[in-house]
């Protein structure tokens, strides 16, 4: 009985792609701090609601992709028979509804942007396999999460939220197009690297009055990005290169076929950049108490640990 329970639990964790949850929590914390949040009861409600919205969106991602996965990704939970498509639809929809209702507890100023976030999640899940611009929708989800988290502080959303939220969205877009291009699903070019660098530029342009730890976070983000991208830059722009990789966009993946011998593990690179979202968030906040620095470090380590257990994509 216990092994059966563990298999079922793992199925749910894989469907929810829980290895990316630390990046959702770091998004909430960074936006909260940037907008001067101090009502911590709201923060806990925010994190629970964001968790439900994320996991619900991931379940619906597989529900919408069931036909594609039956053809190309038979190892996924639905085509492999680990869970029924109907159950995934019901669980995903229920989690999204519960997440939004929790956001409503904090008032209309939070409920409205949260409703936009729910709409963006559903739209992304529904169309991401059919449009080249799906990464922009996924980036919009992260931007809206920043806005929701800032609104939960019960303060007006400030300029720092907008600019750092846009920088995060650019990072997500660059990461997604980079992965899609490497798998033959999109443009194969170096231009996504410019989008990946947006958070680094935003830190230099916004809130220049930073403490030493904030600059250390910025340096660690740069170093981590360079580490993840090592060996990949030389492959970009080579239209003849074909690799056995997954296209990773934070909430979905596509599979390349007719493959030759890989020269670089792009999937591992993208997973690392996904974990790097925590560093993006850490670097965004100019000054904070030491305990918050430790939280960001812990979330980054947790993301890396979870990726070893549950696929991030």
pLDDT surpasses 80 at 54? yes
Correct CATH for 2-309 of 3.30.70, 1.10.3470, 1.10.600, 1.10.1240: 1.10.600
List the domain boundaries for the chain: 2-309
Chain centre to alpha carbon of residue 303: 11
pLDDT surpasses 50 at 255? no
Q: What is the pLDDT of residue 37?
A: 86
Give the separation between CA 281 and CA 277, rounded to whole angstroms.
6
Higher per-residue pLDDT: 251 or 127: 127
Asked whether the whole model's pTM tops 0.95, one would answer no
Q: What is the pLDDT of residue 286?
A: 77
Is the sign of the CA dihedral 188, 189, 195, 196 positive or negative? positive
Give the separation between CA 306 and CA 169, rounded to whole angstroms.
23
DSSP notation for 136-174: HHHHHHHHHHHHHHHHTTTS---HHHHHHHHHHHHHHHH
pLDDT digits (tens, 9 = 90+) for 127-150: 988 888 899 999 999 999 999 999
- Least confident interval from 74-83, 185-194, 252-261: 252-261
Give the pLDDT mean for 59-85.
91
pLDDT digits (tens, 9 = 90+) for 178-213: 776 544 444 456 778 889 999 999 999 887 677 889
Q: What is the pLDDT of residue 252?
A: 42
CB atoms closer than 10 angstroms to residue 84: 12
pLDDT surpasses 90 at 51? yes
Q: What is the pLDDT of residue 206?
A: 86
């Amino acid at each position: 009985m216990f092994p059966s329970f563990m298999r079922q639990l793992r199925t749910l964790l894989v469907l929810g792609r829980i290895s990316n949850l630390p990046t959702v929590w770091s998004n909430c914390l960074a936006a909260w701090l940037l907008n001067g949040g101090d009502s911590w009861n709201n923060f806990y409600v925010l994190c629970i609601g964001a968790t439900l919205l994320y996991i619900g969106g991931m379940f619906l991602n597989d529900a919408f992709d069931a036909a594609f996965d039956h053809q190309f990704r038979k190892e996924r939970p639905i085509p492999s028979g680990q869970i029924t498509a109907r159950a995934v639809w019901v669980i995903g929809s229920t989690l999204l509804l519960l997440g939004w209702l929790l956001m409503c507890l904090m008032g209309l100023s939070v409920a409205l942007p949260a409703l936009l976030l729910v709409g963006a999640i559903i739209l992304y899940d529904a169309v991401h396999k059919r449009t080249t611009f799906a990464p922009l929708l996924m980036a919009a989800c992260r931007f809206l999460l920043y806005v929701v988290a800032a609104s939960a502080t019960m303060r007006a959303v400030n300029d720092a939220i907008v600019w750092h939220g846009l920088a995060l969205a650019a990072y997500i877009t660059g990461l997604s197009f980079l992965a899609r291009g490497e798998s033959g699903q999109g443009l194969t070019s170096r231009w996504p690297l410019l989008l990946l660098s947006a958070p680094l530029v935003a830190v230099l342009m916004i809130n220049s009055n930073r403490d030493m730890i904030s600059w250390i976070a910025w340096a660690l983000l740069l170093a981590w990005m360079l580490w993840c991208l090592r060996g990949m830059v030389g492959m970009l722009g080579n239209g003849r290169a074909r690799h056995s990789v997954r296209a990773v966009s934070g909430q979905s993946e596509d599979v390349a076929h007719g493959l030759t011998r890989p020269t670089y593990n792009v999937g591992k690179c993208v997973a690392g950049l996904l974990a790097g979202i925590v560093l993006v968030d850490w670097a965004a906040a100019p000054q904070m108490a030491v305990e918050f620095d430790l939280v960001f470090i812990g979330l980054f380590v947790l993301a890396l640990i979870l990726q070893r257990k549950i696929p991030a994509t």
